Amino acid sequence: MKRDRLIEEAIEARKQAYVPYSNFAVGAAVVAPDGRIFRGCNIENASYSLTNCAERTAVFKAVSAGITSFVAVAVVADTTGPVSPCGACRQVLAEFCQAETPVYLTNLYGDIEETSVGELLPGAFTKGDLL
């Protein structure tokens, strides 16, 4: 199943997490319109606030490869329930996805919450608001 394949990609991405401070590894994977998958992990820094979350790493890798829209997203972490993306990542996903774009929030224990970018950030500030 496509969903499960994407979650596997996020699990693989998580293995590259650079997390010497929190020891909380997160993986993400986003799907381009042509089906290509971009992986991301969280990347921490001794200057803690410079940390980049897994979701934004995946999105920024894709954007730097010329992909500026996504048709599905998966995120995984070692949480008791499905992982919950931070506000910054919700805003970045809103920039490059449709409100209906599916987001699979998961953990290492098989819990899967199927939500959407619009549900994660209702009323997002978007480019249309700049007019």
Ligand X SMILES: O=c1ccn([C@H]2C[C@H](O)[C@@H](CO)O2)c(=O)[nH]1
Residue 24 is a binding residue for ligand X (CB under 6 A): yes
Which of the following is catalytic: 8, 9, 55, 119? 55
Name the region of 46 (left: φ>0; alpha: ψ -120 to 50; beta: rest): alpha
Residue 59 is a binding residue for ligand X (CB under 6 A): no
Determine which helix (DSSP H) or strand (DSSP E) holds 55, and give its type and residue range. Answer: helix 54-64
Instruction: Let me know if 55 is a catalytic residue.
Output: yes
**Beta carbon of residue 75, minimum distance to ligand X (angstroms, whole number):** 6
Alpha-carbon 127 to chain mean position: 20
Nearer residue to ligand X within complex by CB, 51 or 69: 51
Name 102's Cβ contacts closer than 8 Å, sequence gap at least 6. 3, 72, 73, 114, 115, 116
Contacts with ligand X, residue ranges (CB under 6 A): 19, 22, 24, 26, 42, 44, 51, 53-55, 75, 83, 85-86, 89
- Which residues are identified as catalytic? 55
